[in-house]
Structure 1
Amino acid sequence: MKLRKLVTLTEEVRSEMGRPVQPPARRALAAAVIANPFAGAFTDDLSELIEMGEALGELLGTEALAALGGAPIEGYGKAALVGENGELEHAAALLHPKLGAPLRAVIGGGKALVPSSKAIGRAGEILDVPLGHKDAAYVRSHFDAMRIRINDAPRPGEIVVAVALQQHGRPLPRVGGLTQDQITGADGLR
């Protein structure tokens, strides 16, 4: 894997609409800018990207967790922005077959699917990384996203791959639904 750049972003919300957020809502995102080995050419075998996804799950998970000081994680997400000489399937190969298992290992587990998004774009495009609870997909307080814009990425032959982690849900959630204390953790949904 040819890694050009690693970017880490942290956020801590302490107040929302003039009200204190206790505990503060903390989250972090780690993104890698990598060369796309299949830029400009079609191939049936995307196993090289699949293997890169596995390595990126560990690398980006470790970086994002370190940015949060190794604190317990309640939610996660992943996303990829493919440069213009690539295709969405390149993002899918990075994100879906193998990225999740090493990410879960880094944060100490997770039963829910890791929410994801994929897009094609040019340098400076915004990449939205969806977030959801790591053990129960129906916990609405954790439906969120982090955004990142890297001014010089992705170049046409590159891909930006990102992982986001959250220590808590949104600040001051109040739209109802399953709450964290109601999670049974049996199926990744509830």
Structure 2
Amino acid sequence: MTPDLSIRKRVVTVEETHRDGEHDLDTPVKKVAAIAVFENPYAGQWKDDLGALTDWGEQLGETLTRAAVEQLGGPDEVESYGKGGIVGGDGELEHVAALLHPKLGTPLRAEVGGGEAIIPSAKKRGGHGTTLDVPTHYKDEAYVRTHYDAMEVRVHDAPRPDELLLAIVVTNGGRPHPRIGGLQKEEVESRTD
């Protein structure tokens, strides 16, 4: 029998950078994280079949991405994406992997209107207030250096030992004032036209 998804908390965090270093940005860089905290049905026990978590990853991939994209202003605004998760102390890292990898990417890509590049991810074990740096990069080409970045996510009271935390991050741009060269997003866009 498949356990029911029991969400304790949803959090949406919006970060908008208007100035970096001593220079204002022409267009603020906006990062949005949509987070769900929920019960881990496999905490404290071994299960060979993690299918419920895989299915939940697909379900949450859609709802969390939709929430993040709405805050960003719609799919046309998304330039970068990433995903991550934290497992509480009674769970395993494989529980987060089951959420993140087999099925989550398809609905995430649908909600951002495409996405040719692999979706970067991070996972770790932790307790209340554990921070996770969710890596991001350009959604249509992983080698666009201007968009190599991350967003720190944290929920002050999560995860509990028997919980999981899943985060989806989208951004409307790369790092402020990039200038290390390499492939530019405009070059990628011109190849796909």
**After superposition, what is the alpha-carbon deviation per residue over 1:67-101, rounded to whole angstroms, capped at 9, x for unaligned?**
11225211100000000000010010000001111
**Hey, which bits of structure 1, 4+ residues long, moved more than 2 A?**
184-187
| 1:29-40 matched pairs, under 5 angstroms | 29-40=33-44
Deviation for aligned residue 1:117: 0.4
2:161 to 156, 159, 162: 156
What is the TM-score when the length of structure 1 is the normalising length? 0.95
What percentage of residue pairs aligned between the two structures are identical?
48
Q: For the aligned residues, what is the CA RMSD?
A: 1.4
1:172 to 174, 177, 187: 177
Kindly indicate whether the alpha-carbon contact (under 8 Å) linking 1:135 and 1:185 is maintained by their aligned counterparts in 2: no
Structure 2 counterpart SS, 1:27 = strand
For the residues of structure 2 that align with 1:100 and 1:68, how far apart are their CA atoms? 19
**After superposition, what is the alpha-carbon deviation per residue over 1:146-172, rounded to whole angstroms, capped at 9, x for unaligned?**
111211100000000000001110110
Structure 2 counterpart SS, 1:61 = helix
Name stretches of at least 5 consecutive residues in structure 2 with no aligned partner: none
Task: Tell me the number of residue pairs that the alignment of Structure 1 and Structure 2 aligns.
Answer: 187
Structure 2 counterpart SS, 1:183 = helix
Kindly indicate whether the alpha-carbon contact (under 8 Å) linking 1:130 and 1:143 is maintained by their aligned counterparts in 2: yes
Q: Which amino acid aligns with 1:35?
A: E
Q: Which amino acid aligns with 1:157?
A: D
1:120 to 125, 128, 134: 125
For the residues of structure 2 that align with 1:120 and 1:16, how far apart are their CA atoms? 31
Deviation for aligned residue 1:22: 1.5
What is the TM-score when the length of structure 2 is the normalising length? 0.93
| 1:4-153 matched pairs, under 5 angstroms | 4-70=8-74, 71-153=76-158
For the residues of structure 1 that align with 2:6 and 2:134, how far apart are their CA atoms? 22
**After superposition, what is the alpha-carbon deviation per residue over 1:79-138, rounded to whole angstroms, capped at 9, x for unaligned?**
000000000100100000011110111110100010000100111110111101100000
